[in-house]
Structure 1
């Protein structure tokens, strides 16, 4: 009789271990990010990233911004309009890099306080917004990074 209880308890422990205590394992990915133009929010597309949480890490390699945004409509903006990058997550990334792609040419974009200014010339512009969460104590060690893609059309 005691042996059968032991086997049932053992099977229960094994089953519990396999199901993560009945709790669905949360997806390991960086926070969502948005673009805000004229007080309207637009979601970005998550590109390549490496993210760590609760002792687990995951790195995912994805296509570039133009390929990621294929089939989606660009965000309409006026020439020189303010474009803000919004992330409702703490801590905020402490290192960023923005790349603009237009007519098969890439250029770095100046960003100040998660804000950039739309080009003044009409056209469609693709962006890769790279964000890094760098370790405050260990130089050049990232605790997570993510690239977000979005496109604007200057009208």
Structure 2
């Protein structure tokens, strides 16, 4: 009985060690800020899967309800800042612009951790600054993912 318990404990510790070696540190995904000009602004963590926990949240408009949008000039450069290693291996960004009754979603091109703000005046919600930490050996295996939301007001 002691031998079985000992072997079971060793197997559990190998499993935990194996996961943490490839796994990600911290209890939640890292914070992400955006930089516009010389100012940094926080984003709001939305849906994520981190270690063995997955959390699902509401969409960006609801998630950001009551938050003041970040004011930005038309066409201004917006950069993402993440103080975390390893860096995510995949990035995607979706913009939701609200019209009277419709929400239009568009994918936004990210180059060198940056994108360009819209040129038309209005409030734009960014849902899904999605980042993934993909396995470098096994295709389609994610070690973690997170989605961040923020809103910009083009003056």
**Which TM-score bucket, shorter chain as reference?**
0.7 to 0.9
Root-mean-square deviation (Å) = 1.2
Residues 90-134 of structure 1, C-alpha deviations (whole Å, 9 max, x = no match):
111110110000021000000111100000000000002000000
- Secondary structure (helix, strand or coil) at the match of 1:113 reads coil
Q: What 5-or-longer segments of structure 1 have no aligned partner?
A: 1-25
Aligned length in residues: 126
Query: What residue is the counterpart of 1:145 in the other structure?
Result: 145
Distance (Å, rounded) in 2 between the aligned partners of 1:47 and 1:78: 26
CA distance in 1, matches of 2:133, 2:77: 24
1:73 partnered with 2:68: yes
| 2:101 matches 1:100 | no
Tell me the distance in 2 between the aligned counterparts of 1:41 and 1:97: 20
Deviation readout 1:39-95 (Å, 9 max, x if unpaired): 10101000000001xxxx111000111111000000000000000011000111110
Checking the alignment, whether the CA contact within 8 Å between 1:28 and 1:58 is kept in structure 2 is: no
Shift of 1:27: 6.9
> Does residue 1:32 correspond to 2:31, yes or no?
yes
Shift of 1:28: 2.1
Q: Is the 8 A contact 1:99 1:107 kept in 2?
A: yes
Which structure has the bigger radius of gyration?
Answer: 1
Using the size of structure 1 for normalisation, the TM-score is 0.79
Secondary structure of 1:28's match?
coil
1:2-151 aligned at under 5 Å gives the runs: 28-52=27-51, 57-103=52-98, 104-128=103-127, 129-151=129-151
The equivalent residue for 2:17 is: none
Q: C-alpha separation between the residues in 1 aligned to 2:79 and 2:60? A: 18
* Unaligned stretches of 5+ residues in structure 2: 1-24
Cα deviation for residue 144 of structure 1 reads 0.3
